[in-house]
Amino acid sequence: MRWLRFLSVLLGLIGAAAAHALTPADALALATGEGDARIAAVNRLAAEPDERTLALMQALSAGAVKVQGEQVLLIADDGTGKDAVTGAAVAVAETAEDAIVNNRLRGALDAALSVRDLFGNDAAAQQAAAAMLQKSAFDEPDAAQLPLVEKAFANPNLDAKARQHLELARAAMQLASEDQAQRLAAAQALGNMGDPALKPLLAARLDAESSAAVKAALSAAISALDRSLAVTSALSQAFTGISLGSILLLAALGLAITYGLMGVINMAHGELIMIGAYATWLVQAFFKSTLPDFFDWYLLAAMPVAFIASALVGAAMERTVIRFLYGRPLETLLATWGISLVLMQGVRSLFGAQNVGVENPSWMSGSITLMGNLTLPWNRIIIIAFAGAVLLGVTLLISKTRLGLFVRGVTQNRPIASCMGVNTARIDTYAFALGSGIAGLAGCALSQIGNVGPDLGQSYIVDSFMVVVLGGVGQLAGTVYAALGLGLLNKLLEGWAGAVLAKIAVLVFIIVFIQKRPQGIFAFKGREA
């Protein structure tokens, strides 16, 4: 009995293989005839392809097929031919005709050939095949390809992203079905997917649809997509505004200490940001040449290096120039402006005038997609989190540590702090170095979203001063509110008026606000004033 059972199974497998083998009639159906009939043959044979079928489809797509009588021949590069069904060598007669393949048939062939990757275990190949099938379905939906898609869904190892592409392809194909119920279900399914890329497909189908019920479903789906697009657009603008606000916060946080707490108008603050960015680039170059296996972690080493490099430059500035100019704002402004020119020229002399590129680590590359089309880059997300961490660290340092107590004491009443034994000159240096070091951290973050060059800091110095003045001099909380508020306002106005007019409108708003409230958003109260 065991041998009989084995024999029956073997015969069944042989019969199944024979049922799916390419026949002369199938080969002729692929190579000759009308376009619709040939595409139907492609879709039918692609559902259960064998090696001969795949070879014929590939040769058709490449234009290497001839028809000789009732035989379909595959033509090699050297001009020799072989029978597409049997594989036997065949002499190619002069009367053999080329199999004509138009763009529509070639698209169907490419889609059918890509489907076989959906049955493997390679996620990247599955995603590429499913994306091609989706594109084919969007360009020219064909309900005859539905068996291919349904068969692909049966693969237990199908990748999740490939499954999403296939769901879109299936719905697009169902829209072209002659079955009204299928078209109605497809319209409802596409509306629920919330992908704005579907809108042209739905709009084109709406114009060609004859059923009132399906038309109503298509209209509802388009309205749902419009609402989804409005929501994701608003969320995208909000994220972009918060991202810009976090960058302004990082750039202005150091200035909130050197200008807000110490009263020093430091026009070289942008160059301290630039030094932090170049320090990050140097650490990256070191890891590339010396520690390539640990390249993904270079940014963790670059952060303290950028902080220390900018802090040392800031401390040197304070000890050599700024300490002699306290209480003289105009002289301080001119002196620090001169220092900024010296720093920029020094960087040009050392590293050249061209921008240098800083690469993102792998964990900062790519993006996350939400709600179908809301794409959030990982580097921006991490910079927002980094800005929050730096803000928390500065707040704790100023409010909870001995150094922070001394800085606040010297800022509020220098003579009394000196009488209490505080070395005010040393505290000035420490505070200025702290603010400069934070500028270096800002440069480290900015290097991850743009090129690094000698003029990097010039793009942020004016915005940094606007943030500090708007928030209230000496108020870290005001700096946070002002940075995020200006970022959101800028991106909101950009969507309406463009980047240049948005910048002008923000500047006008700040001027009017300062005229009405010179102390900024937050002001000192009571005796602190």
Tokens representing 423 are 């070395």
- Residue 524 in any domain: the answer is no
- Residue 508 in any domain: the answer is no
Tokens representing 66 are 């001839």
Domain boundary (461, 488, 515) is at 461
- Residue 318 in any domain: the answer is yes
CA–CA gap between residue 218 and residue 236 (Å, rounded): 26
What is the model's pLDDT at position 301?
Answer: 92
pLDDT in tens, 48-96: 667 888 888 888 888 888 888 888 888 888 888 888 888 888 888 888 8
pLDDT in tens, 229-287: 788 888 888 888 888 888 888 888 888 887 766 778 888 888 999 999 999 999 999 99
CA–CA gap between residue 236 and residue 475 (Å, rounded): 30
Cβ contact 468:460 at 8 Å = no
User: Do both 130 and 253 map to the same domain?
Assistant: no
Cβ contact 448:325 at 8 Å = no
The separation between CA 295 and the C-alpha centre of its own chain, rounded to angstroms, equals 21
Which value, to the nearest 10 degrees, does the dihedral of the CA atoms of residues 195, 201, 202, 203 take? 120
User: Do both 84 and 14 map to the same domain?
Assistant: yes
pLDDT in tens, 196-212: 667 777 787 787 777 88
Nearest to 84 by CA among 57, 62, 110, 113: 57
- Helix (H) / strand (E) element for 65: namely strand 65-68
User: Do both 247 and 183 map to the same domain?
Assistant: no
CA–CA gap between residue 497 and residue 439 (Å, rounded): 31
Cβ of 186: how many Cβ atoms within 10 Å?
A: 27
User: Do both 87 and 145 map to the same domain?
Assistant: no
User: Do both 95 and 115 map to the same domain?
Assistant: no
- Residue 218 in any domain: the answer is no
User: Do both 123 and 58 map to the same domain?
Assistant: no
187-194 contacts, C-beta under 8 A, 24 or more apart? 187/214, 187/217, 187/218, 187/220, 187/221, 188/217, 188/220, 188/221, 190/221, 191/217, 191/220, 191/221, 191/222, 191/224, 191/225, 192/224, 193/167, 193/168, 193/372, 194/224, 194/225, 194/228, 194/371, 194/372
- Residue 478 in any domain: the answer is no
CA–CA gap between residue 133 and residue 326 (Å, rounded): 70
Ranges in the chain, pLDDT < 50 = 1-19, 526-529
User: Do both 248 and 276 map to the same domain?
Assistant: yes
The pTM (predicted TM-score) of the whole model is 0.68
What is the model's pLDDT at position 6?
Answer: 33
Residues recorded for the chain = 529
Domain of residue 87: give its range.
2-101
What is the model's pLDDT at position 342?
Answer: 92
Distances (CA, A) of 75 to 39, 93, 212, 227, 276: 22, 12, 51, 54, 63
User: Do both 250 and 397 map to the same domain?
Assistant: yes
Domain count within the chain = 3
Q: What angle do CA 44, 50, 55 make, to 5 degrees?
A: 95
User: Do both 447 and 299 map to the same domain?
Assistant: yes
- Helix (H) / strand (E) element for 74: namely strand 71-75
- Helix (H) / strand (E) element for 311: namely helix 298-320
Cβ of 115: how many Cβ atoms within 10 Å?
A: 23
User: Do both 17 and 160 map to the same domain?
Assistant: no
Beta bridge partners of 368: 376
Domain boundary (461, 490, 519) is at 461
Amino acid at 208: A
CA–CA gap between residue 503 and residue 507 (Å, rounded): 6
Domain boundary (40, 69, 101) is at 101
- Residue 341 in any domain: the answer is yes
Residue 356 DSSP symbol: B
